[in-house]
Structure 1
Amino acid sequence: MTITETPPPAHAATVGAPILEARGVTMRFGGLTAVKDVDMTVREGEIVGLIGPNGAGKTTFFNCLTGLYKPTEGVVTLGGEVLPPKPRAVVVAGMARTFQNIRLFANMTALENVMVGRYCRTTSMALTSILRGPKFRREEEATRARAQELLEFVGLGGSAEHLARNMPYGDQRRLEIARALATDPKLILLDEPTAGMNPQETKQASDLIFRIRDSGLAVVVIEHDMRFIFGLCDRVLCLVRGEVLVEGTPGEVQSDPRVIEAYIGGGDDDDDDEDDSAPAGSSDRASHSTEEKL
């Protein structure tokens, strides 16, 4: 097996102060330890990759960061403030995410889907909304305008009135990212953003993530496509059986023999949880990509 050099990510941004810090995060389900004592720091203007074979605990770790799970042990801070294990509180604090399985409102338009993400930043109360008072109308107009801006940003400006269920798969992925951006996050977590995409769509996703980073956000990405992740990220963490195996630059990680062994010699377990399981064939895709790139 030959080891190839991966160039540093294009348009590297200046990395700032830590924005997200996870310390000693552990998640147990009965007698099963899905995530064990994981530390991770993400800095402003940084793209961090999270890789590992199926069953490594990647999505479980994401769920601990975003409040879907309350970690058995450990602490997660965003901007120096401890995050409560409540998804809405995490979003309001400034962290947004997407999912392995697309979770759009199928019978809403693209514009309406993005507007839903924006409502965590509005302040109109129930009575004002029901009566559609002046404050509600102002906020609704601003929300609609911001949603259209974000559709333009992700390349879906002409699809605002299309029903989400009728949009192509790659467009649905970008729409979910636009909805996450509508929450005005400081950090966005992307769970397999290129799953099921063709090479052209994958290149578009890479360009979009660079634009998100260049707009001032930090990004964390879970991905099985090694060519994509090593060409995108400033830093990469490899999880194996719930623990950090290695952390470093893309070049350091892809040349580490322990990472090669983890992919070629493992990956037979089921993914992290039934709700967010990886698409069929992703394990084979990961092994194949790793063999070519590592």
Structure 2
Amino acid sequence: MTQAEADTQALLTVENVTMRFGGLVAVDSVNFHVNPGEIVGLIGPNGAGKTTFFNCLTGLYLPTTGRVVFDGAVLPPKPRKVVKAGMARTFQNIRLFGNMTALENVMVGRYCRTSSGAFTSIIRGPKFRREERETRARAQELLDFVGLSTVTDHLARNLSYGDQRRLEIARALATEPKLVLLDEPTAGMNPQETRQAEQLIFKIRDSGLAVVVIEHDMRFIFNLCDRVLCLVQGKALIEGTPAEVQSDPRVIEAYIGTGPAEEPAAATTGPDPTGGRTAPEPTGRPAPDEGDRHA
């Protein structure tokens, strides 16, 4: 598929996005696209610019250069308008309302799709009550969808770590998105929770949404994604199928680096620097330093 063909059918198209902070280039001329119903992984070592790139997509940052096109329209750098356009995200650090119930947290996400004005909400008019019922019902559906049907009335702060992660995803889904961006959704999870997260993301994709995932768990990413983009120092190193990316030596080098150059082997010819003498055996006592010699 050519880049032009990809851009034509893409739900999200990123064109030469660069983000500078003074003299630091955090994202450097990155091109990227996501097709409807696709799961795309975004990987790279720490400091590669992955979360900064997400922030450029979702309106938290205004890119220094380049543009983000979503569903055929250029996205404005305003998070609320990005959400209303159909893009939702979760964050690397959990950002729930701890003193609200699980149901209330999801309802908060749904309010961007309601239209009751301030006056109607204050007097709790018929329109407000109808939308509140619909929002509550939809929030419960999403809790059921992510596997949290039994914790509806529990405070978010009292949920397990894995359940809090799933609650964040439910809140993102409440915005009725077409594309969901997940920033390290399995960070800190045990293997069982990671498998549950993988199954949930497949379930989200099967419901018709596209998903972009930042993750450091390579096994998780390569099992999950249709395509993977690797960022290194803000630049796109390689984009391709999981098999292509994980076999690329540049990706391996970016993650584990290169070892020190081998030291040259000891010379086997020439004069013996010891004059043929054998080095003395260690005595078990350290050699005296200069202060000991003059003591």
TM over 0.5: yes
Whole-angstrom distance in 1 between the partners of 2:12 and 2:59: 14
Other-structure match for 2:128: 136
1:57 counterpart = 2:49: yes
Q: Secondary structure at the match of 1:150?
A: helix
Please report how far the alpha carbon of residue 132 of structure 1 lies from its aligned counterpart in structure 2 after TM superposition.
0.1
Structure 1 stretches of at least 4 aligned residues deviating more than 4 Å after TM superposition: none
Other-structure match for 1:21: 13
1:114 counterpart = 2:106: yes
Partner deviation per Cα, 1:32-71 (whole Å, 9 max, x = no partner): 0000000100000100000000000000000000000000
Whole-angstrom distance in 2 between the partners of 1:85 and 1:181: 21
Determine which structure has more spread, i.e. the larger CA radius of gyration.
2
Whole-angstrom distance in 1 between the partners of 2:12 and 2:202: 19
Other-structure match for 1:189: 181
Task: Using the aligned pairs only, state the percent identity.
Answer: 79
Other-structure match for 1:172: 164
Other-structure match for 1:148: 140
Q: Which amino acid aligns with 2:53?
A: F
Other-structure match for 2:86: 94
Please report how far the alpha carbon of residue 17 of structure 1 lies from its aligned counterpart in structure 2 after TM superposition.
2.8
Whole-angstrom distance in 2 between the partners of 1:72 and 1:18: 23
Whole-angstrom distance in 1 between the partners of 2:56 and 2:225: 22
Q: Secondary structure at the match of 2:11?
A: strand
1:83 counterpart = 2:71: no
RMSD: 0.9
1:69 counterpart = 2:65: no
Please report how far the alpha carbon of residue 227 of structure 1 lies from its aligned counterpart in structure 2 after TM superposition.
0.4
Please report how far the alpha carbon of residue 201 of structure 1 lies from its aligned counterpart in structure 2 after TM superposition.
0.2
1:258 counterpart = 2:250: yes
Other-structure match for 1:208: 200
Whole-angstrom distance in 2 between the partners of 1:100 and 1:79: 25
Whole-angstrom distance in 2 between the partners of 1:24 and 1:36: 8
Other-structure match for 2:22: 30
Please report how far the alpha carbon of residue 232 of structure 1 lies from its aligned counterpart in structure 2 after TM superposition.
0.0
Aligned length: 251
Question: Normalised by the size of structure 1, how large is the TM-score?
Answer: 0.85
Please report how far the alpha carbon of residue 172 of structure 1 lies from its aligned counterpart in structure 2 after TM superposition.
0.1
Q: Which amino acid aligns with 1:64?
A: C
1:243 counterpart = 2:211: no
Whole-angstrom distance in 1 between the partners of 2:242 and 2:233: 20
Whole-angstrom distance in 1 between the partners of 2:219 and 2:152: 32
